[in-house]
Structure 1
Amino acid sequence: MTLEIDLSAIGLTAAQELEYHSLVVDGGGTEDALATRWDRSADDVRRLLVSLRDLGLVEQATFDGERPVWFPTAPDVSLQGLLNSRRHALAVAETSVAQLTEIFRRDLNHADVGDLVEVVLGPEAVRARFLQLELSAREEVCAFVDARPVAVNPEENRAEVQALGRGVTFRVVIERASFDDEATAAETRDALRANALVRSVATVPTKLLVTDRAVVMAPLSVRGHDAAAVVIRAPSLVQSLVTLFEAVWDSGIPVVLDPEDGLVDGPTGPDSLDIALLSHMLNGLTDDAIGKRLGVSGRTVQRRLRGLMDLSGSASRMQLGWEASERGWVTRRSVDS
């Protein structure tokens, strides 16, 4: 069985990770034996072992005057120590970021215009700023997407995947014409699978990116530049653009994935699978139990129910059940069955 091991997050290089894994799986050995096993020079092996020793991952022992043998320390001790050190460093860094952010926001009321509004010029600079803002999001990203990508193409946007993986909420309003582009359609499918919320409208008023309701990025027309954008931190302007986003969001139609993983744009009500999901939900079944009964995954159940909540404007599953009954989507008979 091949294990997927990734220790880069706690500071190990690829070579350190590979050879420590070898020591854990295959056991220790002398420097010469390890050089043969790893197909490395003796000097290279020596440097690697010393670096692993400095991290507390290997130890050296000599038996009956033989050549020293290197062997791994227990992962739950050595690696946990590195994890704890990294967690402490991250906690200190997070506290520092929070303190700097508080100072920055406190000074916004008497900041210069340049601190409140930043102009970004050129495709590369716009792309880098866009991705940086997505990566910096802690709670929510809201966006308008039109059919004319300029600086950031859908296939290049890995920051969104990383942010979704951290649990950041994404709400995206997309122009329907954008789905004609396969890259945009593929990115939308991936986002929906990762539990992003997507709605469609005929046209969006502008491209827009809002992170944590504190920073806004919007396009700017500047003579002599192929791409330009403005990054806004002024609270009153940010609030106005957040209000614009919410108004367009409320007018949009939820986009969901059908059982064949295709995009369904513009549903006016639940389909037969949705009705079955609702009935089982109201009967108290868990998402996994519903999925087993209907032959779909638990994630599909969650995604479908979230889409129905979005469609009905429900803030909770309890409210969704009430809305489903009021709208005639389910009846007592269908629930009891």
Structure 2
Amino acid sequence: MEAAFRALGLTETEVRLYILLIRSEARWDGSVPQLLDVSPEEAAAAVDGLAAKGLLTRVEGRPAHLIVSPPDIAGEVLVSRRKQELHTAHAALRRLADEYRTAWPDQLRTLVEPTPDAAVRQRIDQIQRMARREVMIFDVPPYASPEAASGAAGNETEFERLAAGVRYRTVYDRRAVEQEGAMLRVARYVEAGEEARMAHRVPLKLMIVDSELAIVPTVAGEAGQSAGSALIHPSPLLDGLIELFEQVWAHALPLSPGGVAQPERPPLSAPDRQLLTLLLGGLTDTVIARQLGVGQRTVLRRVRGLMDRAGAVTRMQLAWYAAQHGWIEPTTPERPQTTSTPDDGD
């Protein structure tokens, strides 16, 4: 509670005095400094500060009475005043930013800030806090530490921004999901509101904020340490990065909090389900081709098509995906009837 009041510009002593007055009547008879465990001068300064902020009224007398103002009324006034102060500060920062762009045009043209790894993390935190609408992320290993990969040292700022209503979309490279403890990390973000997907290959580490600013590492060492960052302002380059993200996002598999990719594709056709049933039944391509009355090359082509739909690179991954997404029934496959459809591709 004290931290909330201090955010409105109250000192620690003023907060403690105001809460004391809310909970009990107080007279200016020397008891206030004792109750607050401060000097009489500090207590008097707190009374003056609260009075100036409209949170209490001092009624002279022997001793004087301290009358507290209702929090819901006086507090709203303080909140409104604080909002106006923040709005004024934000406008001043924008004017200063315009001066910066005028004074340092070459700095903006290069877009690269050769800063150490710690400064890059600070900049990533800063631009996330600037976000008003959406943050888009490519998450790709290697990471700076095992803690970062597992989520023990994750992006805590994301939780704050998600709670503030900022949308987060993250595409995880398949290698990121395969890291030990990675799905626990992803689950934390998804449960907080992140929209997460997985792609077989994500081209680079990337963060885009409100489609107005992007940051990418310029150099990454073997352990994932970034030797600098490129801050991209509105430009054709930024437009290209946004388009790249949207393309990868459109073809990536959604991840649920439990870490299972959820399909956004139509169900399998009857012939594809028949092929998959035979494949998962352990039959060889030659036997499957004979069973279906097609050529072996057709079987290979159709299996490759199923793997592409599932985002799988091996048949084992295809089998896992099929079982997780209801492509096959969890029963012992029956021997299908052969078809007489000729294979035009053989």
Instruction: Tell me if both proteins adopt one fold, taking TM over 0.5 as the criterion.
Output: yes
User: Retained in 1: the 8 A contact 2:13–2:43?
Assistant: no
Secondary structure (helix, strand or coil) at the match of 1:49 reads helix
User: Once the 2 structures are TM-superposed, how far is the Cα of residue 46 of structure 1 from its aligned partner?
Assistant: 2.1
> In structure 2, the residue corresponding to 1:264 is in which secondary structure?
coil
Instruction: Please give the alpha-carbon distance, in whole angstroms, between the structure 2 residues aligned to 1:199 and 1:217.
Output: 20
- Deviations 1:13-64 (Å, cap 9, x if unpaired)? 333223211211222222522223223333332222222222221221234x
Indicate how the Cα distance of structure 1 residues 29 and 149 shifts in structure 2: closer, same or farther if over 3 A, else same. Answer: farther
What is the CA–CA distance in structure 1 between the aligned matches of 2:50 and 2:111, rounded to whole Å? 48
Q: How does 1:1-337 map to 2 (within 5 A)?
A: 6-63=4-61, 66-95=62-91, 112=106, 114-115=108-109, 117-150=111-144, 153=148, 154=151, 155-179=153-177, 184-221=182-219, 227-257=227-257, 263-268=258-263
Distance across 2 between alignment mates of 1:50 and 1:134: 39
Report deviation, 1:160: 1.5
- Could you tell me how far apart the structure 1 residues matched to 2:68 and 2:114 are? 51
| Kept in 2: contact 1:20–1:57 (CA 8 A) | yes
- For the 8 Å contact 1:116–1:233, the answer to whether it is kept is no
Conservation of the 8 A alpha-carbon contact between 1:201 and 1:251 = yes
Q: How far did 1:226 drift?
A: 5.3
Query: Which amino acid in structure 2 is aligned with residue 246 of structure 1?
Result: E
Residue 254 of structure 1 deviates from its aligned partner by 0.8
Q: Structure 1-normalised TM-score?
A: 0.66
Compared with structure 1, are the counterparts of its residues 175 and 189 closer, same or farther at alpha carbon in structure 2 (3 Å cutoff)? Answer: same
Q: Is the 8 A contact 1:31 1:69 kept in 2?
A: no
Residue aligned with 2:18, SS: helix
SS in 2 for 1:29: strand
Check the 8 A contact 2:232/2:238 in 1, yes or no. yes
Asked if structure 2 preserves the Cα contact closer than 8 Å seen for 1:116 and 1:232, the reply is no
The residue number in structure 1 matching 2:300 is none
Q: Is the 8 A contact 1:120 1:126 kept in 2?
A: no
Change (3 A) 1:134 1:184: farther
Distance in 1 separating the partners of 2:233 and 2:63: 64
Task: Return closer, same or farther for 1:135/1:226 CA change in 2, 3 Å cut-off.
Answer: closer
Structure 2 residue runs of 5 or longer lacking an equivalent are: 266-325, 328-346
Distance 1:222 1:150 in 2: 9
Cα separation, partners in 2 of 1:82 and 1:4, compared to 1, 3 Å: closer
Q: Indicate if the aligned counterparts of 2:183 and 2:259 stay in contact, CA closer than 8 A.
A: no
Q: Is the CA contact 1:201–1:253 (under 8 Å) kept in the aligned structure 2? A: yes
Q: Distance in 2 between matches of 1:29 and 1:266?
A: 65
Spell out, residue by residue over 1:293-320, the C-alpha distance to the aligned partner (whole angstroms, 9 max, x if none). Answer: xxxxxxxxxxxxxxxxxxxxxxxxxxxx
Contact residue 198 and residue 254 of structure 2 kept, 8 A: yes
Contact 2:135–2:166 (Cα < 8 Å) also in 1: yes
- Residues in 2 aligned to 1:31 and 1:80: alpha-carbon distance in whole angstroms: 30
State the Cα distance separating 1:156 from its structure 2 match: 4.9
CA deviation string 1:187-242 (max 9, x = no partner) = 4333222322110123311100111112111111289x852211111510011111
Q: Which amino acid in 1 is paired with 2:87?
A: A
Conserved 8 A contact 2:254-2:263 = no
CA distance in 2, matches of 1:124, 1:149: 14
- Aligned twin of 1:281: none
Larger radius of gyration: 2
Between 50-59 and 145-154, report the one with greater CA deviation: 145-154
Mapped contact 2:208–2:242 kept (Cα < 8 A): yes
- Quick one: structure 1 residues 54 and 181, their matched pair in 2 at CA, closer, same or farther if it must change by over 3 Å? farther
| Structure 1: segments with no counterpart, 5+ residues | 258-262, 271-327, 330-337
Q: How many Å separate the matches in 1 of 2:92 and 2:41?
A: 41
